[in-house]
Amino acid sequence: MGNRLLSFLMASIALGGLAEAKTVIHVMHQGDPGWVSTYGEVAKRFETANPDVDIELIYAPHDAYNEKFSAAVMSKQLPDVMELDAPFLANYVWSGYLQPIEPLVDKDVIDDMTESNVAQGTYPIDKELYAVGLTDSSVVLYGNRKYLEAIGARIPKGVDDAWTREEFEGYLEKLSKLDGVKWPIDTFRGYGIKTEWITYAYGPILQSAGCDLIDRKTWKSVGTLDSDPCVEALTMMQKWVTNGWVVPQSSGTNQFFAEGHPAALALGGHWFYAEAAASMKDDIVVMPLPKFGPKGASPNGTWIWGITTASEHPDIAGKFVSFMLKDKVFRDYAKEDSAYPGLKSFAADSPLYADGGPMAVAFEQASKTAVARPPHPAYPIITSAFMGAVDEIFNGGDVKAALTAAAEKIDEDIEENDGYPPFDEQQ
């Protein structure tokens, strides 16, 4: 009896020791309920395959992700793995929060990355890869075929055939007078200014018009963001709002494929194709973004995965990232969500984006017109200043004054940080 009790206690102690010996990997992420559920399933499968590891998922709401990350920094509780929005990568690396990921992730994953995916995860100073993702992203111009045919609109076949500014604005005016159309276009103002939407989706309109948020050689914003082409571009967009052509922010985040289809066009992300197609059937048309000036431009970059410098187990963190990006259920959910390919193997398995596929024009934009958001440590200020200016302009503010104030705010931040060395040596 006594020996059996001793054996039981020793076994219990041993089991307790094994439990304590488990390595815990903290993974910070955002995402809608579908993605959150999928991450949970991936974590369980990884733990089953690696019984000595526990994956602890830390959810942060999309709109408050950066605030929650800042809180983790302040409390010195950085996760091992973090999801990050690609344009913030330069800031995170410059601040010392991320480590090069290439040595930690399976080589076949690295070799599988598309050029655009490599670009969104690369830090421009040392050219090292700091993050990797299954996906990338883009925005296209969706149209309601029924409405477009009613006004005799030309439907572009590809990026080289995109509408000009004159065509686009002419169609907006015609659509505004068409029975059944409440608003000619939904630009998803409902996303507000707490997400990246305005900079991500509207920034390419400036770049197409011949300007930018900041000069990417001198890293000065005054003279660029408030230049004549940018003032003209935002004046054009302000006119769309003033004319009542744009779905107002108060009407939510979708009036294109909502009941009754009150919006005729949508400047929308690739991610709502599946829902829109299910609602609109053969009436949905996917077109390239219009050409508003001397060149076409479209956004890229999405939420990708990095490993922090605080991780005590970067090798296991890298093993989890590799596992997740190869996981079939993870990929199947991404495919159902019309996710935009960032890995070649995922693209090959995504007929949505292949030649002849309904979203092929979106993938065509990646190689012909995609312009990354400014890869600079001051990006958080660049985007917040620009979004504030656009919000002010859409609410009737003076365009030139709003853009100049935003440009000065950006330059002041860069000056206060001594040019964010070594970025100040890039000129």
Q: Does the residue 99 lie in any domain?
A: yes
Residues 125 and 211 in one domain: no
Residues 146 and 275 in one domain: yes
Residues 53 and 76 in one domain: yes
- Using an 8 Å Cβ cutoff, are 310 and 390 in contact? no
DSSP conformation letters of 76-119:
T---SEEEEEGGGHHHHHHTT-EE--GGGS-HHHHHTB-HHHHH
pLDDT of residue 427: 58
Q: Of 350, 366, 384, at which residue does a domain stop? A: 350
Number of domains, the chain:
2
Smallest Cα–Cα separation from 421: which of 378, 386, 392?
378
Domain extent, residue 194, equals 139-299+375-417
- Using an 8 Å Cβ cutoff, are 314 and 305 in contact? no
For residues 77 and 193, give the distance between their C-alpha atoms in angstroms, rounded to a whole number: 27
Residues 32 and 67 in one domain: yes
Q: Does the residue 362 lie in any domain?
A: no
For residues 39 and 394, give the distance between their C-alpha atoms in angstroms, rounded to a whole number: 37
Q: Does the residue 269 lie in any domain?
A: yes
Model-level pTM? 0.88
Q: Does the residue 292 lie in any domain?
A: yes
Q: Which amino acid is at 248?
A: P
pLDDT of residue 292: 98
Residues 170 and 283 in one domain: yes
Q: Does the residue 16 lie in any domain?
A: no
Phi-psi region at 23: left, alpha or beta (left = phi > 0; alpha = psi -120 to 50): beta
Residues 38 and 82 in one domain: yes
Residues 181 and 204 in one domain: yes
Residues 224 and 241 in one domain: yes
pLDDT of residue 44: 98
Q: Does the residue 32 lie in any domain?
A: yes
427 residues of the chain, pLDDT tens digit each: 344 444 444 444 444 444 458 999 999 999 999 999 999 999 999 999 999 999 999 999 988 898 899 999 999 999 999 999 999 999 999 999 999 999 999 999 999 998 889 989 999 999 999 999 999 999 999 999 999 999 999 999 999 999 999 999 999 999 999 999 999 999 999 998 878 999 999 999 999 999 999 999 999 999 999 999 999 999 999 999 999 999 999 999 899 999 999 999 999 999 889 899 999 999 999 999 999 999 999 999 999 999 999 999 999 999 999 999 999 999 999 988 889 999 999 988 888 998 889 999 998 998 899 999 999 999 999 999 999 999 999 999 999 999 999 999 999 999 999 999 999 986 5
Q: Does the residue 327 lie in any domain?
A: yes
For residues 162 and 322, give the distance between their C-alpha atoms in angstroms, rounded to a whole number: 38
DSSP β-ladder status, 263-269 and 53-59: unpaired
DSSP β-ladder status, 81-85 and 303-308: antiparallel
Residues 227 and 291 in one domain: yes
What is the DSSP code (8-state) at residue 338? T
Q: Tell how far CA 365 is from the center of its chain.
A: 15
Residues 167 and 292 in one domain: yes
Q: Does the residue 306 lie in any domain?
A: yes
For residues 146 and 356, give the distance between their C-alpha atoms in angstroms, rounded to a whole number: 21
Q: Of 350, 365, 384, at which residue does a domain stop? A: 350
**Can you give the CATH number for the domain in which 91 is found?**
3.40.190.10
Residues 329 and 379 in one domain: no
pLDDT of residue 385: 98
Residues 275 and 166 in one domain: yes
| C-alpha distances out from residue 330 to 40, 85, 277, 293, Å | 10, 19, 22, 40
pLDDT of residue 8: 40
